[in-house]
Amino acid sequence: MTRELHHYMDGKLVKGKSGRFGDVYNPATGEVSKRVPLASADETKKAIAAAEKALPEWSATPPAKRAQVIFRFRELLLENIDELAELLSSEHGKTVPDAKGSVTRGLEVVEFACGIPHLLKGEYSEGVASGVDTFTMRQPVGVCAGITPFNFPAMVPMWMFPVALACGNTFVLKPSEKDPSCGLRLAELMIEAGLPKGCLNVVNGDKEAVDELLSNPTVAAVSFVGSTAIGQYIYETGCKHGKRVQALCGAKNHMIVLPDADMDQTVDAAMGAAYGSAGERCMAISVAVTIGQETGDELVRRLAPKVQALKVGPYTDAASEMGPIVTRESLDRILGYIDEGIAAGAELVVDGRDISLQGYEDGFFLGGCLFDRVSTDMSIYTDEIFGPVLSVVRADDYEHAIQMVNEHEYGNGTAIFTRDGDAARDFASRARIGMVGVNLPIPVPVAYHSFGGWKRSLFGDHYVHGMEGVRFYTRLKTITARWPSGIRAGTQFHFKSGAEH
C-alpha cells in the first residue's frame, strides 16, 4: 500500500487538502512508494501564518537560549542518523554511506549555528564625536523560506534553517517533492529539541507553493538551491516582490590536470568527484581538462577500467558504490545527452547504458560513462548533465585550459591537480569561479566558511552558511548615541533606598 505523506505546520503533521499529489519513487525498483501532497496557495499561506505567529517570541529569545535548542537538535541528529540515511536512500537512491556523509555535512552547519551568540556580536566605536558613540547590531529579517533540491534532501535544508533559526527568524521549508521525507523528519526533530511550534514549517508542493512563498508579503527572505533556469526565476520574482533572495544554481565543474600531477591521486579524485552520488550534485566534476595529449592518454587509460569496475546497485546492497538515478525522467534526460555526445563525435570510452540488475530491472540504473576527445561546442560540455558522465577535454596548454574555465557560463567550482605551487597559485587567483580546489576535487567549504559560485551559478549577493549565511539572515542596524552629561553639570547620582522604590 502506498503511504501518503503530509505537511508539517505549527508543530504537527497536517494532511494535504488540495487534492493534488506527486509520486515518490523507490529509484532502485521503479515503484511508487509514497504519495506527497502538493500544497495549494491557501495551504502555503497557513504555513507562512504559523511562522509569522511564532516570530515575535522566538526573535525575542536570547541567542544563547536559541543556541541551546540548536545544540539539542545536533544531539538528536546523531541519535537518528541511521533513520535519516535510510529515508534519504530509499527516496533518492544514493548509497547509505553517501547518505550518511551528506547528513554529516549538514550537521557541521548545525554545529556552526550553535555558536550564534558570538556570531551576532556587533561593533562599537567610542567617541566618534564629542560625547557620541556608535555601535551596530544584527537583527533577524523575519519569516524566511527555503526551496531545496532532490539531490541533498537533508544536507541542503540544514545549510539554511539552522542558521536562520539561530539568528532569530522563523522558517518555511519547501523540499523537493521527489524525496520529501527527510525535511518532514528534520522538522519533527527540531520540535523535539525544544523549538517552539510554528518556528519551522514544512510545506510540500510544486510551483503553486513556490509562487506563494515568492509573492507573499510576510516572507522576507528566500533561499534556493537548484537549476539555473528555476533559480533565475526565483531570484527575479522574489526581488520583484521586495524580498532578499539567494539562489545557488547550476554548474559545470572543470578539473584541470597538468602533466606533473600525481596521476594516482588524480584518478582517485576524479572517480569520487564524477561518479559519487551518481553525479547528481552541483559540485560534481563533469569535465576533466588535460594539458597535452600524453596527459590525456594517461588519464583515460587509468580511468577507464575503474569506471567499468564501478559496483552499481541498490542502496540496500552494502557493496554498492553508486546507486540509481532519482527518477525515470532524469534518467531519460541523461541518456539523451549521451546520445548527443556520440552524435557530435565524442568517443564514448566507457558506456554504462546497458547495465541490468537481476531483480531490479525496472530501476533507474545507469553505469558510469566516460567520454574522451570532447570539444567545447558539444552539449555534453556546455550543459549540466547531472548524472554519472565525465567528459575529457584536451587543452593545448595551461592558458587554453584556464580560458575554458573562465569562458563557461557557470562558475560554481573548479580544481587543479599539479605539483607546481606557482601554477596552483596562479590558477586560484585567475579562475573566475566561486570555489577552487588545489589537488582536491570537490572544493566544498567547511561549515564556518561559505558556499557559493560566480556567474550563472549564483543569483544574489550572499553565499550560504558560514558568516555569509549569518549576514543573509540578519539585517545590520547602526546606532549612534549621545547622552546628556549630568556628571559635567554637577548632577549628583545615587541609588535609591528600598523604601524609595
**Distance, CA of 104 to CA of 428 (rounded, Å):** 28
First-to-last alpha carbon distance for the chain, in angstroms, is: 70
DSSP character at residue 59: H
**Distance, CA of 283 to CA of 290 (rounded, Å):** 19
**Distance, CA of 270 to CA of 274 (rounded, Å):** 6
What strand order describes the sheet that includes 3-4?
3-4, 31-37, 21-26
Closest CA to 184 of 3, 447, 444, 322: 3
Three-class secondary structure of residue 306 per DSSP: helix
Of 114, 144, 282, 369, catalytic: 282
**Distance, CA of 61 to CA of 467 (rounded, Å):** 21
By the 10 Å C-beta count (0-12 exposed, 13-18 middle, 19+ buried), 172 is classed as: buried
Are the C-beta atoms of residues 425 and 404 closer than 8 Å to each other?
no
Whose cell is 500544497? That residue is 39
Closest CA to 226 of 309, 142, 282, 177: 282
Look up 182 and say whether it is catalytic: no
Beta bridge partner(s), residue 35: 4, 23
Active site residues: 282
